[in-house]
Structures are given as structure tokens and as C-alpha cells.
Amino acid sequence: MKRAADAIARTDGGDRTSGPDVLTVTMNPAVDHTLTIEGSLREGEVARTDDAQFDAGGKGINVSQYLTELGVDAPATGFLGGPFGRMIGDALDDDGIAHDFVDIDGRTRLNTTVLSPDGEYKINHNGPVVGDADVDSLVRRVEVRDPKRLVVAGSLPRGIDADAVDRLANAGPWETAVDMGGSFLQRLDAEYLVCKPNRDELAAATGRAVETVDDAAAAARDLRGHGFEYVLASLGSDGALLVTDSDAYYAPALSVDVVDTVGAGDALLSGFLAGLARGESVEMALRTAVVVAARVVSVSGTSVPVFDDVFADRERVDLSGK
């Protein structure tokens, strides 16, 4: 994997120099299996194809991939089990992504997408059941890594709930970012650096209608009061919004040829954290986030684009107050 820059030095100025800038946690990853067939699916008939793709899937894993390309030290952890778990580990090795997952007895998910002339069909596994002992092991992995910042992203496996995320956030001095469903954000009790809802998640987390950018700003202010230092909202084609304790900054989306919006939210969070890892202001981190997201929607799937000139391209992003 090509890197945008050498790994960024730690900027916290303290003694914690051994841990990574960012450690991502994906507790319910999946192998994303995508295949294309030429004809329609018909009951009782066998469909055949030579076109199949297997990718390591999971929001935290995506963030590790994007941050690594941006020059940020960002290993991945979480839960893996069974043959699909081994496939994810092998894929991360191939991409040069450091990882230290907890092995579980259950089997990591396989999510299958079938692309045919008459539509797109999805079959997703429910995923494994995870217990308290597995969470204990994950907490210890994070403590050993001792990151400056922790990212917990994606859905949770069966058997655990919001208290597992709070445990990770409270287990050490790191700042924690979270990217999970809107109703889930309501159940968190720890203090968090940032959450990254999309428009629908922002509405679900606050009970507000979020139709305009001003609606999003009002909802984000409400959500921020539930233990988040920043709320970074991804608004699709409308761009992005960042709410702090005293300000709200709006950045419209850059004009690019949109190929695929998969991974756009993960890219937005990755760009924001990359800006913070460089010791930059939250305004510049938001600009970085918008540029990174624009690059990602310009390529297919969760393919990692070239980020070589991302930091030089940030002046294209206009910021205004909300």
C-alpha cells in the first residue's frame, strides 16, 4: 500500500510515546463477498459466475486503512473468529495494516452481495455471539497498545451492548471517537472526543427532523450535550458539519465525480482524526475530512485512493459558521 507520508510523530507532548496515534476497534467485522452474475436469479436454476470479490469489511477497519494511507499509525483490533476471521487477518497483512484482534469461538460474518441485471441482492450473516470474557480480553489489548486516540466503529455483535463501548473509553487516558447507530449513541454514558453520525443517525439520536443544514446544526448541538466534545455530522451531498462547545462549522461537499459513496463516512472521520494527529485546529481537521471523503467517493467500494496531495488541497474547502 502506498503511503501519503511517513508516520506522523506523536504530538501530545507527554511521556506516552510508545502507543499508536490511533487504534481502531471493529467488534463485528465481516468478509464482504460481492459477485456479479450475467442473468437473472430464477428459482430452481443454478446461477454461475467467475466474478467474485472478497474484502475485509468493517467501519473501524476502513478507518485504519484510510489513516494508514494518510501517514497515521493506526493499527486495528476487535474480534475475529473462524475461517472468515482468518481471511480478514490475511487481507490486512496483504495491505500492510498492523492488527491485534481477539480470537473468539464464534465465526466472523460473511456478507454477500449479488449483482444481477434485475437488481442487487444482499444476504448478511447475523454474526457471532460475544461474551464478557471476550470484552475483557479486548480491553486488555487496548490497554497494552495505549493509543493516543481510540476509534470504536460499526455494529456490535450479539451478546454485548453500549456498556462494552463505555468500558473501552474509560479503560485508559486516551480520547475515544465513536461511529455507531443513532439510537445507540443515546445509550453511551462515558465522555467521548467525537461522534460521527450521518443525517439519519443524527435524527434518531435526537428525535429531531434533520432536513436542512440548519436542522443538522440544531440536532448536533443537542447531541453534543450527551458527552461528546465534538459532533462531526456527515450530510452526504450537502457536505459536513462540525459542532464544538462554542461554534458550528459547515463545509459543503467538494465537486467531484461520485463513483461510490461506500466508506464516505469512514473517510470523513479518518480525515478529521488525521488533522488532529498533525496537531492542527479542528477547523483544518474538518477541511481535511472533507477532502479525504471526496477522494474516497471518487473510487469504487472501499478501495483506498491516492492521498498524496490531500493536505495541500484543503484550501479548496469553504467553511462557514452555523
Catalytic residue positions, numbered: 266
Give the residue ranges of DSSP H helices in 132-244: 132-145, 162-170, 182-185, 199-206, 213-224
The answer to whether the CB of 45 falls within 8 A of the CB of 85 is: no
- Report yes or no: 297 and 58 within 8 Å, Cβ to Cβ: no
CA distance 59 to 27: 10
Q: Give the integer Cα–Cα distance in Å for 282 and 175.
A: 15
Residue ranges in 109-158 assigned as alpha helix (H): 132-145
Question: Letter for the amino acid at 207?
Answer: G
- The rounded Cα 110 to chain-centroid distance in angstroms is 19
- How far is it, in rounded angstroms, from Cα 298 to Cα 308? 15
Q: In angstroms, rounded to a whole number, what is the distance separating the alpha carbons of residues 244 and 256?
A: 28
How many Å is the Cα radius of gyration of the chain? 19
Q: Containing H/E element for 10?
A: none
> What gap in Å lies between CA 153 and CA 272, rounded to an integer?
15
Look up residue 314 and give its DSSP letter.
G
Do 254 and 316 touch, CB atoms closer than 8 A?
A: yes
Query: Cell numbers of 168, please?
Result: 473501552
Q: Is 132 left (phi over 0), alpha (psi -120 to 50) or beta?
A: alpha
Q: What pairing do the DSSP bridges indicate for beta strands 228-234 and 175-179?
A: unpaired
Residue type, 114: V
